[in-house]
A and B are shown apart, each in its own frame.
Chain A
Amino acid sequence: MNLKKLSIFFGLVFVFSACKENRYATAEILGKRIPIDKTIKADIAIEKFITPYKKHLNKTLDSSLVYNPKTIDKTQGKLNTAIGNLMADIVIQQAGPVFQNRSGNRIDMVLLNHGGIRAGLDKGQLSTRDAYALMPFENEIVVAELSGKKIQEMLRYLEKAKTAHPVSGIQIEMDNNYKVIKATINKKPIDINKNYFVATSDYLQQGGDNMSFFIDPVNLYQTNYKLRNAIIDYFKTTDTIKSHIDQRFIKKP
């Protein structure tokens, strides 16, 4: 017993002194990346572990929520598109009641960005997966209280952008040089002395897509409502999607 202890002691002394004396230094380094491709066989235990998560996910993602009578995407239309109009209208319909409950005010208009329409919607039954494709990001709907002056800045932005940024609640008419000749909110001309409640995404409100007019609003209201969840909730409570290119944002020929 004692002998064993002693040998452990000497063993430790040896290891300790060996460590102390033998410092190591890097002599050579090999570095590379290895592609994870089909030549590597999947680990069966890991695959099995994923399966129940995957099944539940797919079941939820793929259950049909709403019927879409026609294929729509963001390339159809000039300054307004059926899919963009749908998204902007969904924001008013879904976030409007939340905002009204919290602030006592009504959303006057919506502005989103054309680049934020991440996929089209095919004709047929739509599912949660389609909503994820349309809006993969986690952006939340916010409402910015903007002065009439900032609304004018927004119009100058749209003149420069010449893009079908989705809008709702505002009516914009441009001449053939993209100069705004008429703009109304709630059917009334923009009042420079009035404030407007503009719903958008937190991404755009923070200056995304160079929408600087959003950055410093009179007031900013959070809805804690994700844009994608608003779309999913709309899909769930709607029977058939109605989306059209209309007259809300147009340019004279």
Chain B
Amino acid sequence: MKRRNFIQQTSAATAFVGLGGLSSLSIQPDYKKHITILHTNDVHSHIEAFSNNHARNPNMGGVARRATLIEQIRKENPNTLLLDAGDIFQGTPYFNFYGGELEFKLMSKMKYDASTLGNHDFDNGIDGLYAQLEHADFEFIISNYDFSNTVMDGHTKPYKIFHKNGMKIGVFGVGIELDGLVTKKLYKETEYLNPVEIATDMVDKLKNKENCDLVICLSHLGYDYNHGKISDRKLAKQTKDIDLIIGGHTHTFLDKPTVETNKSGNKVLINQVGCYGLYLGRIDFYLDNEKDVESGNLKIEV
């Protein structure tokens, strides 16, 4: 009862400072654990907001605004993870001029926890990516690129477990096949491994061996294709025990997360927020004692 009161007050306070999109807080459910996942994808070096007279996205985006929003949400729930699904680089002269330094520094200032890699993150070559790593205070998580014979060897992680409010959140990452998308001389000896096989291994490790409470896949495979290419929707259906796929690459503007059914008949969420930092994705997970949660009765409100 007390907690509800507190939440309602917080909600009123945030409404007062004029933050949009948080109004559903007042009906926040009362469970033991609350984990918030915030995410971006394909920001493509968009540092500044679009101008007022921009044809498609007038007065949208901007890192400084995103920082405010993230801080607000963190204040409301400190048990928050901030993730990116790749293609941080390329798209404005900021990248051409500074090679990604500013993008990484700003993400570090916003306290991103992790990012996976997109094809455009290789645009200045694997050496160009490596050169910027010193500016990133967050993890690069990618499970299906073998960097053994490259400068990136040892600088990425196949997965990472984050501890929030006593919960273990396992995060792994899958990247798109680089051949045909990026010139070989840029990605060099990076080896692409089958994302479905790797995801299956990762999930087994995170769910069964590490007993993670939540498993999140950061993906730069792309949302969906009408040909055979592996996508987030296909990955969701061909695997199990993933709770959330945070996607990128196809610049898909989902106005709400897609709910897919996995191999074992359970629900998986897929979310992607378009591109250029125009939106921030927010997924709130409420967990309770296993015995109190009726199986097969997961409530999803999107």
**Interface of A with B (CB < 8 Å)?**
19, 22-47, 49-50, 53-54, 56-57, 60-61, 129, 132, 138, 202
User: Which residues of B (280-299) have their CB < 8 Å from a CB of A?
Assistant: 280-290, 292-293, 295, 298-299
Q: Is B148 an interface residue (CB 8 A)?
A: no
- State the CA gap A42–B277 with chains docked (Å): 14
Chain A hits for B166, CB < 8 A: 19
Chain A hits for B102, CB < 8 A: 50, 53
Q: Could you say which of A19, A28, A36 contacts B66, with CB atoms under 8 Å apart?
A: A36
Q: Could you say which of A28, A42, A56 contacts B64, with CB atoms under 8 Å apart?
A: A42
- Known contacts A31-B300, A33-B255, A26 near B109 by CB under 8 Å: no
Stretch with Cβ within 8 A of A (4 or more), from B3-11, B25-33, B78-86, B222-230: B25-33
Q: Is B20 an interface residue (CB 8 A)?
A: yes
In the bound complex, do residue B289 and residue A31 qualify as a contact, i.e. CB atoms below 8 Å apart? no
In the bound complex, do residue B298 and residue A30 qualify as a contact, i.e. CB atoms below 8 Å apart? no
In the bound complex, do residue A31 and residue B98 qualify as a contact, i.e. CB atoms below 8 Å apart? no
Q: What is the CB-to-nearest-CB distance from A19 to chain B, in angstroms, rounded to a whole number?
A: 7
- State the CA gap A33–B73 with chains docked (Å): 13
Interface pairs A-B: 9 shortest CB-CB: A42-B64, A43-B67, A31-B257, A34-B21, A25-B293, A24-B287, A23-B290, A28-B299, A46-B64
Chain A hits for B20, CB < 8 A: 34-35, 37, 39-40
- State the CA gap A44–B106 with chains docked (Å): 13
**Interface of B with A (CB < 8 Å)?**
17-22, 24, 29, 31-33, 47-49, 59-69, 71, 90, 93-94, 96-98, 102, 105-106, 109-110, 123, 166-167, 183, 211, 213-214, 243, 254-257, 269, 271, 273, 277-290, 292-293, 295, 298-302
Query: A23: nearest residue on chain B (CB-CB)?
Result: B290
Query: A138: nearest residue on chain B (CB-CB)?
Result: B123
29 A-B pairs in the complex with CB atoms less than 8 angstroms apart: A22-B289, A25-B287, A26-B298, A27-B286, A27-B298, A28-B29, A28-B31, A31-B256, A31-B284, A31-B300, A34-B20, A34-B69, A36-B49, A36-B278, A38-B49, A40-B18, A40-B19, A41-B65, A42-B49, A42-B62, A42-B64, A43-B71, A50-B47, A50-B48, A50-B63, A53-B94, A54-B48, A57-B93, A60-B97
In the bound complex, do residue A46 and residue B18 qualify as a contact, i.e. CB atoms below 8 Å apart? no
- Known contacts A28-B298, A47-B64, A35 near B48 by CB under 8 Å: no
Known: A31-B302, A46-B63, A54-B48. 13 other contacts (CB 8 A): A23-B211, A29-B298, A29-B299, A36-B279, A37-B20, A40-B66, A41-B65, A42-B62, A49-B109, A53-B97, A53-B98, A61-B93, A132-B93
- State the CA gap A34–B60 with chains docked (Å): 11
Chain B hits for A138, CB < 8 A: 90, 96, 123
